[in-house]
Amino acid sequence: MRVPFMGPSQEEVVAMATDLIARFGLHAHDEALRLEEVAVVIRSTRNRYLYRRAAREIERSFFEARDRLKTKSVSEAVESK
C-alpha cells in the first residue's frame, strides 16, 4: 500500500526561505529554484515541493519588503514638505 504524499509544513517552508535569504541575500530565489531542479534530478518529490514553496515564500517576502520601502519613502517625502 502506498503512503499518501506528506508535504513540508508551512513552518518548514518559512524556515527554509529564511535560511536561503540569510545565506544568499537577493539571490535566494534563484538558489531555491536551482535546488528545486536538483531535487527533480534526484527524484525527491518532497524536496522539490519544499524548494518550490520556499521560492514562492521568498518572492512574497521580497515584494512585501519592497512595498514597505515604497510606503516608507512616500511617507517621508510627505513629511518633508
**Domain residue ranges of the chain, discontinuous segments joined by +:** 10-80
Helix (H, G, I), strand (E, B) or coil at 18: helix
pLDDT of residue 59: 96
Taking the complete model, does pTM exceed 0.75, yes or no?
yes
Coarse DSSP helix, strand, coil percentages of the chain, rounded to the nearest 5 percent? 85, 0, 15
Could you give the percent of the chain with pLDDT greater than 70? 85
Q: Which three cell numbers stand for residue 35?
A: 535546488
- Count of alpha carbons within 13 angstroms of residue 80, beta-carbon side: 6
CA dist., res. 1 & res. 67, Å (int) = 48
- What digits encode the pLDDT tens for the residues 46-80? 999 999 999 999 999 999 999 998 887 767 666 76
